[in-house]
Amino acid sequence: MQDISTLQAERQQLVTRVAEIDALIEAASFSSTEYAVIEHTVTEFGSERSAWRVTHNGVPVTGHEYRDRQIAEDIATGLAAIPDDYSLTYEQIGRLGWRYLVRRNGRRITDSADIQRVITLVLEDVADRPRRAALAAERKAEAEAQAAAEKQAAAEAAERAKYATPRQVDFILTLLAEREFRAFPDPGFIIDGPTERAAIEKLTKEQASAYISSLKGDY
């Protein structure tokens, strides 16, 4: 039979490998379809102007229409280069000014005025996913192990709480010792209980209390 530490190590290796495979699957599923920029005319304050819209396979991408053609082209380049589960926007970020901003699951990943830098940082984030996933799995396993250990400790404590306390055990031994050295032991001793510590420790609290009462003659 394998040692539990060996099994745990093998389990962790499997968790890490699964995380790596998941990341490879995600990387392989990146959109291979095309993003493009098209010009169209919009009317604003009674006059017409050009606007640049990002499209995906000919379909306009919601929220990606810009006054500046270069910005639209940068957005198209970025969307084509990063995974679909990352969002890319062009926003004004306080004193930093207008920047390309990337989020994933609502979490801010990076921002920059340079779209190529944004792409590089996102791809680095993608490459780091297996490590983060493995770390998260390891932490989860540790938390589960800790919870199991605490549950076991609580169960053991509850079990121990049923039995005679150390104070009760010591008191019983003291009473037994006193009784042994009396010239005329109390004839009222009515419980034929254990006389050794190990056996006394197996008494429940109620049994120990009754035993003490018997040894003291309190009945």
Interval 114-149: pLDDT, tens: 999 999 999 999 999 999 999 999 999 999 999 999
Please report whether residue 19 resides in a domain. yes
45: containing domain: 4-130
Query: Of 84, 104, 130, which residue constitutes the final position of a domain?
Result: 130
- The answer to whether residues 115 and 47 belong to one domain is yes
pLDDT top residue among 215 and 4: 215
Whole-prediction pTM value?
Answer: 0.55
The confidence score (pLDDT) of residue 20 equals 72
Please report whether residue 151 resides in a domain. no
- The answer to whether residues 80 and 186 belong to one domain is no
The confidence score (pLDDT) of residue 6 equals 76
Using one digit for the tens of pLDDT, what is the confidence trace for 39-96? 988 888 888 899 999 999 989 999 999 999 999 999 999 999 999 999 999 999 988 8
CA distance 64 to 84: 15
3-state helix, strand, coil in the chain (%, to 5): 55, 25, 20
Alpha helices, H only, 82-189: 115-127, 129-161, 166-181
Q: Residue 29 — pLDDT band, cuts 50, 70, 90?
A: very low
The confidence score (pLDDT) of residue 97 equals 94
Please report whether residue 117 resides in a domain. yes
Number of domains in the chain: 2
Number of H helices, E strands in the chain: 7, 6
- The answer to whether residues 112 and 177 belong to one domain is no
- CA 41 vs. chain centroid, Å, equals 50
Please report whether residue 147 resides in a domain. no
- The answer to whether residues 120 and 173 belong to one domain is no
- CA 88 vs. chain centroid, Å, equals 27
Please report whether residue 77 resides in a domain. yes
The confidence score (pLDDT) of residue 3 equals 67
Please report whether residue 139 resides in a domain. no
Using one digit for the tens of pLDDT, what is the confidence trace for 170-218? 999 998 888 766 655 555 555 578 889 999 988 999 999 998 888 887 7
Percent of the chain with pLDDT over 90: 58
CA distance 179 to 171: 12
- For residue 137, give the 3-state DSSP assignment: helix
- CA 59 vs. chain centroid, Å, equals 39
